């Protein structure tokens, strides 16, 4: 049996485009003699559709698309993902389903059993778990079809009381097929592979795992679909962050007609350091995810051009470089807005960056606007000493200018805040926290430096250093008052990032973090900064998710909570 996996990038709610893409793959697979083609979870409507599935019109369009697609499932069988009606009155109205199409008919429906409701997932909000489990018989084979989370209830990672594959094994299946929409994070590649391999080792069946690719606002799907033979040898590994379609032949004896690219004996490469954040951890994957996140956000929103505030600092430099790679240098405009406290070397660095990248830039000095605003509020400020209010005015003037240009010319403002800043509240609401999409909001400061070095290394064969060395080596500063440095307000990033990582990603409490050797008073201060600044993050723009715990939809804590404040 020749089985194709179609690793595709879908657009949520774009039924015409998704259907056309699915049909194109079906026709291609038919021309190549395919018996079965498998698509990813919720391929018909895109994932995650969230509250869209509460609209009956949205579900009707899913079924209309299935009706169109099934006309092409004539000589080839097709597995696609879509919401499905639940005919039973009790429970939720919908299932997260896989539809098995053949001979222009819906031959079978498979319903997802394990509905994740953690981090970015909220599936039990919408869907009812499966009531029953049945293999699909096709061309003399029994297919055990599962959907994403259904294969994750294994080994030590047991979150559910039911294991769908245990139920399906009672019917003696010949092969496992999983339709997935498993998001990327920089720790997930090997974990995912280990889970799939564990299923193969447990059930002694080959596994065809088809994962989605593409970015849906903040969530990036990396693809990386996999095919294992019944002996747990990896026989096919699809590329990450790319659309592709490939096939292998499943032999009658359950073997895979493909060479082994990774033997079952290989031990997984655990990528997560339990003792602290590795700033260069999988930096190439993070880079690729950010590029895809920017590219898809613009394409799917119908925008082409980005505007970015360029300060001469590391965060704006990396954001501009990533935007130029994702969108093309001709579609990126950098705006330099020096204030009375900006150093000339920062302006020079920002100019050199744009010259290196060949993107358009403008210099708009805000001295006069700033002086006018200070004059306007002077009667109200009663000659109080210069402080945070006067500092933040500069940032808000810049945000106003950037948003005005964006509105006038149809740009999207890319935010440059990093995770260290967002965690500690080191940013100005309606100023440098403005934007349509945060590129670096899930990257700690040390990771931003690692990205800068990686970007330069990638460009060295072309004979150029994109990000000037001075931007990488100089002490970071907001330059909102004379001789200001980040270290005036924050601990050294080499220490700060490790504490933040332990608290945010690993959910360790103050006692556990202090036991690792961090200064007690510093831990208390950092954790307090994180929790009292939730109100700022709650008003922030979407963040491209690259870590196992990003700010945004995947991390939900109260704004007015007393804990650790």
- Which candidate in 41, 218, 325, 534 is catalytic? 41
Long-range contacts of 90-95 (CB under 8 A, 24+ apart): 91/128, 92/124, 92/126, 92/127, 92/128, 93/128, 94/53, 94/59, 94/126, 94/127, 94/128, 95/127, 95/128, 95/130
- Give percent above pLDDT 70 in the chain: 97
Name which of 35-49, 262-276, 427-441 the model is least confident about: 262-276
Interacting residues of 153 by C-beta distance below 8 A, sequence separation 6+: 114, 159, 160, 162, 163, 164
User: Catalytic: 390?
Assistant: no
Q: Assess whether pLDDT exceeds 90 at residue 403.
A: yes
* Tokens encoding 176: 């496992």
pLDDT at residue 393 in the model: 96
Name which of 263-267, 308-312, 510-514 the model is least confident about: 263-267
Q: Assess whether pLDDT exceeds 80 at residue 557.
A: yes
* Tokens encoding 194: 């280990």
Name which of 48-57, 79-88, 303-312, 476-485 the model is least confident about: 476-485
* Tokens encoding 302: 């119908």
* Cβ–Cβ < 8 Å for 427, 421: yes
User: Catalytic: 41?
Assistant: yes
In this structure, what are the phi and psi dihedrals at residue 121, rounded to the nearest 5 degrees? -95, 145
- Which candidate in 45, 62, 148, 324 is catalytic? 148
Report the pLDDT averaged over residues 267-289: 70
Q: Assess whether pLDDT exceeds 60 at residue 311.
A: yes
User: Catalytic: 443?
Assistant: no
Q: Assess whether pLDDT exceeds 70 at residue 457.
A: yes
Taking only the tens place, the pLDDT of each residue in 502-524 is: 999 999 999 999 999 999 999 99
Taking only the tens place, the pLDDT of each residue in 66-120 is: 999 999 999 999 999 999 999 999 999 999 999 999 999 999 999 999 999 999 9
pLDDT at residue 412 in the model: 98
Q: Assess whether pLDDT exceeds 70 at residue 283.
A: yes
- Give percent above pLDDT 90 in the chain: 89
Q: Where are the domains of the chain?
A: 2-249, 283-538
Q: Assess whether pLDDT exceeds 90 at residue 169.
A: yes
* Tokens encoding 534: 């939730």
Say how far apart CA 53 and CA 91 lie, in whole Å.
15
pLDDT at residue 37 in the model: 98
- Which candidate in 70, 112, 445, 498 is catalytic? 112
Query: What CATH number labels 283-538?
Result: 3.40.50.620
Classify domain 2-249 at the CATH topology level.
Nitrilase/N-carbamoyl-D-aminoacid amidohydrolase (3.60.110)
Give the residue among 244, 117, 239, 258 at the shortest CA–CA distance from 189: 239
Mean pLDDT for the chain overall = 95
Q: What is the pTM of this model?
A: 0.96
pLDDT at residue 45 in the model: 98
**pLDDT confidence tier of residue 482, bands split at 50, 70 and 90:** confident
* Cβ–Cβ < 8 Å for 6, 38: yes
pLDDT at residue 222 in the model: 98
Q: Which carries the bigger pLDDT value, residue 157 or residue 187? A: 187
């Amino acid at each position: 049996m020749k089985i194709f996996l179609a690793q595709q990038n879908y657009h949520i709610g774009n039924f015409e485009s998704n259907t056309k893409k699915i049909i194109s793959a079906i026709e291609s697979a038919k021309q190549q003699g395919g018996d079965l083609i498998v698509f990813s979870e919720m391929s018909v409507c895109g994932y995650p559709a969230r509250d869209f599935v509460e609209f009956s019109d949205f579900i009707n369009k899913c079924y209309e698309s299935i009706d169109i697609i099934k006309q092409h499932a004539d000589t080839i069988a097709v597995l696609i993902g879509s919401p499905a009606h639940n005919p039973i009155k009790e429970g939720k109205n919908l299932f997260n389903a896989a539809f098995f199409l053949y001979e222009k008919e819906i031959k079978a429906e498979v319903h997802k059993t394990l509905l994740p409701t953690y981090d970015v997932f909220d599936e039990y909000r919408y869907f009812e778990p499966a009531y029953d489990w049945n293999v699909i018989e096709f061309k003399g084979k029994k297919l055990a079809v599962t959907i994403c989370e259904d294969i994750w209830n294994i080994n030590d990672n047991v979150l559910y009381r039911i294991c769908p594959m245990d139920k399906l094994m009672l019917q003696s299946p010949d092969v496992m097929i999983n339709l997935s929409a498993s998001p990327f994070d920089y720790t997930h590649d090997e974990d995912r592979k280990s889970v799939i391999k564990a299923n193969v080792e447990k059930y002694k069946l080959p596994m065809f795992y088809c994962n989605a690719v593409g970015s849906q606002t903040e969530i990036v799907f990396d693809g990386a679909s996999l095919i294992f033979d019944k002996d747990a040898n990896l026989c096919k590994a699809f590329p990450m962050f790319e659309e592709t379609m490939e096939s292998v032949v499943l032999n009658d004896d359950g073997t895979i007609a493909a060479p082994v690219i990774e033997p079952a004996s290989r031990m997984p490469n655990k990528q997560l350091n339990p003792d602290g954040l590795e700033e260069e951890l999988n930096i190439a994957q993070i880079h690729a995810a950010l590029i895809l996140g920017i590219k898809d956000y613009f394409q799917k929103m119908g925008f082409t051009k980005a505007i970015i505030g360029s300060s001469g600092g590391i965060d704006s430099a990396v954001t501009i470089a990533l935007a130029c790679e994702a969108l093309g240098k001709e579609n990126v405009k950098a705006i330099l807005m020096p204030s009375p406290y900006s150093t000339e070397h920062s302006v020079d660095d920002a100019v050199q960056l744009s010259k290196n990248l060949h993107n358009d830039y403008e210099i708009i000095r805000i001295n006069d606007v700033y002086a006018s605003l200070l004059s306007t509020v002077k009667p109200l400020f009663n000659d109080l000493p210069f402080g945070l209010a006067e500092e933040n005015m500069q940032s808000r003037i810049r945000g106003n200018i950037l948003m005005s240009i964006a509105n006038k010319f149809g740009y999207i403002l890319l935010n440059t805040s990093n995770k260290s800043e967002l965690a500690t509240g080191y940013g100005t609401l309606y100023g440098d926290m403005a934007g349509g999409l945060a590129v670096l909001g899930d990257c700690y400061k040390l990771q931003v430096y690692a990205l800068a070095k990686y970007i330069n290394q990638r460009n060295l064969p072309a004979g150029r250093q994109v990000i000037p060395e001075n931007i990488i080596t100089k002490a970071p500063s907001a330059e909102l008052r004379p001789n200001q440095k980040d270290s005036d307000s924050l601990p050294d990033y080499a220490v700060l990032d490790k504490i933040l990582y332990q608290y945010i990603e690993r959910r360790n409490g103050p006692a556990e973090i202090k036991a690792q050797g961090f200064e007690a008073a510093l831990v208390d201060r950092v954790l307090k900064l994180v929790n009292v600044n939730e109100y700022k993050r709650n008003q922030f723009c979407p963040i491209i998710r690259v870590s196992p715990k990003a700010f945004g939809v995947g991390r939900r804590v109260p704004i007015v909570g007393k804990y650790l404040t």
